[in-house]
Structure 1
Amino acid sequence: MQYNLLSIFCFLFFIMNLSAQTPEPVDLAFPELLSEFQNIRDFSMASDGTELFFTAQSHLGELSIIVQAIKKNSSWETKLFLPHSGKYKDLEPFLSPDGLKLYFASNRPFKNESEIKTDFDIWYLERKSQDDKWSDPINIGTSVNTEFHEFYPPVAANENLYFTSDRPEGKGKDDIYKSEWNSNSYKTPISLSDSINSEGYEFNAYISPKEDFLIFSGYDREDGLGSGDLYKSTRLKDGNWKLSQNLGTTINSDKMDYCPFIDYTTNTLYFTSKRSGIMAKEFLILEDFKTALKISENGQSKIYKVNFNPNQLLN
């Protein structure tokens, strides 16, 4: 009897330990909502989970629009809300933690100008409440925007702005910059330290509302797994950033993985990936080949999700 109890205990311990080591599955996010869009990227969501934003593009990116989805009576309604959607390239929406500003990148011209810009700037919309209408797009201004590209503009709860730029004074090809909010304007941006930025590409960062951790994409780095990986870093007590670490193969693939966003209500990490499930195989009939091309994981940009507890980053 004692032997049987011991055997059962050992078996249960083995199963629990095995379960603890099993990586969380990476799944397509909102498949019923997003399946009608073939090439999608970027993701941001309201804290109550009833409103989300993403970028929908043509295959080669000639068209790039931001889509708003609103949950009503357990179903989602999608709509365009930016003026001149499709005429200009709008992408990379980020909803502020209070839900009252939406930041994005665009090549749209300044107000009262007609010529499309050759570089991307950071813009934003604002509203008084979640039920209110959005304002017209507002360029964030020359304290942040330059003649070079500015992309992917997340903000912390204190409105400090993080963004990607290819300006020449950076440490690499693309760098992640920070611009502090000073009551009514943004200070001169600075490139984050070499704990984050390298001689390669660092881009599309997510900053936590408290500014205590950062998740970003990196490419052309020594510890990279593919054409772009997600990395993490936490802020130290002295205000500096801890040396960034690759999130590993449980999340990253050998294809481009980028554009992170965290939903704290469900402890979910959303991100964009170009991973593909198409495998080489022999086809006997053409219909089977056509079916193989229709799978969701086909190498085009899709939005994925995985269970991710941000508190574990801070321990």
Structure 2
Amino acid sequence: MKKIILLLGFISSSLLAQDQTKITFKANFDTPEIFIQLPEFSNINMRDITISPTNDEIFFTLDTPKSAFRTILTSKKVNGTWTAFAVASFSGSYHDIEPAFSPDGTQLFFASKRPKGTEKTSENDYDLWVVTKENGTWNNPTRLPETINTDKNEYYPSIASNGTIYFTAERADAKGKEDIYKSEFKNGTYQTPVSLGAGVNTKTYEYNAYISPDESFIIFGSYGRKGSLGKGDLYISFNKNNTWQEAVHLGKLINSNQIDYCPFVSFDQKYFFFTSEKTTIQATYNQLSIKQLKEVVTTGSNGTSKIYYLPFEKLLKSIQLE
């Protein structure tokens, strides 16, 4: 615990020193670009992101090497300026990942290994939790009911406008090792989760599903499918007459020979975000100097997980072209 406290202190002090204007939304570009730049943490993984429906609050996960500790960071736009990144008010004590706003912006869901009730020992598996904003602060994390959470991992919540929650889980009725499930929210109660159909789930791994608020499309990760480029690719499936159509590979514009995961579309559908471990580091060079080596391993796509973004329209057009 002492090491974790020291780590959080280092993270907080370093993040406070960041330039407060690093978050920008470019109007028009054709290929994915790194969205969040944290120079002091250029070799530490960043994964999963959510942005509020009003585009003025951001949450994402900082994942230390070998996932020794994971915590959720945040920034808020105040008077036109983004605040320095800081550890989220509800995070920083236990493994927390994969924040997701509800479409009305009143709730924030996430996955966590934090203990249940008054216990103080971390759980071995991830469960899904939710916080509600009170007086401008996200407080009082609440674990979702046993209908959703089990003694195995539940990951990557994504919420539709009607309250239905989509998530990843490993369960006895799964079509593969991990499936994408949904649980409808009726009369204030989550219903028994149902594995999505064969247009989404297969005999391999499916993970990290983003659902559009109107449930018209879903973007998710999968590993081991025919035509996969690498360690895990992103796919999209469209909902027609309440049936998920055969998933479409997002192509080389998004996918790489490394793992590509954690999709998110801004609520105004202007931007598509995703995380990737792709790298531009080459296997050979012509005698690098120490200065050149430093630049190679600390700038751009260097194999650590980074959050990228692209105009959503560009992504949809690229699918049509392939």
With structure 2 as the length reference, what TM-score do the two structures score? 0.84
1:133 is matched with 137
One of 57, 81, 87 as aligned partner of 1:80: 87
2:304 is matched with 300
User: Match of 1:275, as an amino acid?
Assistant: K
In 1, the alpha carbon distance for the partners of 2:82 and 2:223 equals 34
1:168 is matched with 172
1:213 is matched with 217
Distance 1:185-1:30 versus aligned 2 partners, 3 A rule: same
SS of alignment partner, residue 258 of structure 1:
strand
Q: Is the 8 A contact 2:52 2:267 kept in 1?
A: no
Which residues of structure 2 form unaligned runs of 5+? 1-28
2:130 is matched with 124
- In the TM superposition, residue 84 of structure 1 has moved relative to its aligned partner by 5.7
Higher deviation after alignment, 303-312 or 69-78: 303-312
Distance 1:278-1:141 versus aligned 2 partners, 3 A rule: same
- In the TM superposition, residue 65 of structure 1 has moved relative to its aligned partner by 0.3
With structure 1 as the length reference, what TM-score do the two structures score? 0.86
- In the TM superposition, residue 169 of structure 1 has moved relative to its aligned partner by 2.5
In 2, the alpha carbon distance for the partners of 1:271 and 1:160 equals 22
Percent of paired sites with the same residue: 37
Matched, 1:258 2:261: yes
- In the TM superposition, residue 91 of structure 1 has moved relative to its aligned partner by 0.2
- Structure showing greater Rg: 1
2:8 is matched with none
SS of alignment partner, residue 60 of structure 2:
strand
Shift >4 Å, 4+ stretches: 310-313
Q: 1:39-54 counterparts in 2 under 5 A? A: 39-54=45-60
Q: Is the 8 A contact 2:90 2:139 kept in 1?
A: no
SS of alignment partner, residue 159 of structure 2:
coil
Aligned residues: 287
- In the TM superposition, residue 74 of structure 1 has moved relative to its aligned partner by 3.4
User: Match of 2:280, as an amino acid?
Assistant: G
In 2, the alpha carbon distance for the partners of 1:83 and 1:204 equals 22
2:189 is matched with 185
User: Match of 1:202, as an amino acid?
Assistant: E
- In the TM superposition, residue 206 of structure 1 has moved relative to its aligned partner by 0.4
One of 213, 217, 224 as aligned partner of 2:228: 224
- In the TM superposition, residue 265 of structure 1 has moved relative to its aligned partner by 3.0
SS of alignment partner, residue 41 of structure 1:
strand
One of 23, 34, 51 as aligned partner of 1:28: 34
1:15 is matched with none
- CA RMSD of superposed structures (Å): 2.1
User: Match of 1:29, as an amino acid?
Assistant: F
1:103 is matched with 109
User: Match of 2:243, as an amino acid?
Assistant: N
- In the TM superposition, residue 275 of structure 1 has moved relative to its aligned partner by 0.7
2:205 is matched with 201
In 2, the alpha carbon distance for the partners of 1:67 and 1:94 equals 13
SS of alignment partner, residue 153 of structure 1:
strand
Distance 1:143-1:295 versus aligned 2 partners, 3 A rule: same
User: Match of 2:260, as an amino acid?
Assistant: D
SS of alignment partner, residue 145 of structure 1:
coil
Q: Is the 8 A contact 1:267 1:310 kept in 2?
A: no
Distance 1:311-1:201 versus aligned 2 partners, 3 A rule: closer
Higher deviation after alignment, 42-51 or 279-288: 279-288
Distance 1:312-1:226 versus aligned 2 partners, 3 A rule: closer
More strand as a share of residues? 2
